[in-house]
Amino acid sequence: MNIQRSPDVNRKLEIEAGLASFIDEFIALRRDIHTHPELAFKETRTSALVAAYLKQWGYDVTTGVGGSGVVGTLKRGNSNKTIGIRADMDALPITEATGLDYASSNSGVMHACGHDGHTTVLLAAARYLAQSGRFSGTVHLIFQPAEEIGAGARRMIEDGLFERFPCDAVYGLHNWPGVPTGKFGFVTGPAMASVDRARIRVNGRGGHGAEPHKSVDPVVVASSIVLALQTVVARNLDPLDMGVVTVASIHGGDALNVIPAHVDLGITIRSFSQAVREELRRRIESVARSQAESFGAVADVNYQWGFPALINAKAETEFARQ
């Protein structure tokens, strides 16, 4: 029986074979990057390494985009279609204790979020595209600094990323420990929640622990605020919407017999839509201030907007899935 594969299957097998031919080289490269992690906007060695490889493979390379960002451009054929593929390069301020023979050599810095892998994956794709890729159009490979801290993507955009390197679509990935090795997970629409945070200082009136009637106890007030905040999602959001309000830190007082003057709360807030995001802020501020006022205390709320939710475009997600 003569079984013929579809052109798409043959193409996938060809790509897999091409990547497999140099997999050992990129395993070694990933371990080298892991050994030399660099923090946000300090990715000098990493960006230089990336630029050198891209130039070696024939890319037009632009460095210093948004600080330490790198963009490699490869054009083939006559098509005007342009896509971007993005990876991040920075590490975290964490001390590595894995015991690996390629563990971090930079004290207090570690690739704990897999950006060494992201950078290596995109470099492997860069080599394949340059040496074996059959396409017509332009591809911009975007190596972003400061994903963890510092808003490196915004810095690159403010530096004219998409004016200088226009893209019809941008693709990217993130490693995910819960996904089996060799598998990919795809999400159409909302994929990662927005990340906002709030710091609340509850100002009461300190006093002696044996004379609580002469104080306004911020510990009690803060406790009331923590409990009341549990109703924000449960009783203020549409059940079909999603949101998270987590009080992750509470600090106040030192001595066991002294009522402190203030207590600090730290909160993380997650959501998938701007409308929910704004409602959560409104309710958190209102609940904190109202609860404090009911005790005769004052709640100062410092609400900090983070980044909006990651929304994957349907057409591009389905294309990547196929």
CATH of the domain at 127: 3.40.630.10
pLDDT per position as a tens digit, 286-306: 999 999 999 999 999 999 999
The model's confidence at residue 6, banded by pLDDT at 50, 70 and 90, is: low
pTM for the complete prediction?
A: 0.84
For residue 2, is it within any domain?
no
Among residues 19, 1, 167, the alpha carbon closest in space to that of 84 is found at 167
Tokens 């007082």, residue? 253
Q: Which long-range contacts (CB under 8 A, 24 or more apart) does 254-259 make?
A: 256/209, 257/208, 257/209, 257/210, 258/206, 258/207, 258/208, 258/209, 259/204, 259/206, 259/207, 259/208, 259/209, 259/212, 259/215, 259/217, 259/218, 259/219
4 pLDDT more than 70: no
Domain boundary among the residues 168, 185, 202 is at 185
The model's confidence at residue 150, banded by pLDDT at 50, 70 and 90, is: confident
* Residue 292 and residue 234 share a domain: yes
Q: How far apart are the first and last CA of the chain?
A: 28
For residue 256, is it within any domain?
yes
Mean pLDDT within 78-83: 96
Name the phi and psi angles at 129, rounded to 5. -60, -40
CATH number, residue 270: 3.30.70.360
Q: Could you tell me if 86 and 172 are in contact, meaning their C-beta atoms sit under 8 angstroms apart?
A: yes
What is the residue range of 101's domain?
7-185
Among residues 267, 265, 269, 266, the alpha carbon closest in space to that of 307 is found at 269
The model's confidence at residue 16, banded by pLDDT at 50, 70 and 90, is: confident
Q: How many domains does the chain have?
A: 2
* Residue 161 and residue 36 share a domain: yes
The model's confidence at residue 7, banded by pLDDT at 50, 70 and 90, is: low
* Residue 139 and residue 32 share a domain: yes
Q: 150 or 223: which carries more pLDDT confidence? A: 223
pLDDT per position as a tens digit, 92-145: 999 999 999 999 999 999 999 999 999 999 999 999 999 988 899 999 999 999
60 pLDDT more than 60: yes
* Residue 245 and residue 99 share a domain: no
* Residue 265 and residue 165 share a domain: no
CA distance 205 to 241: 39
Q: Classify 177 as helix, strand or coil.
A: coil
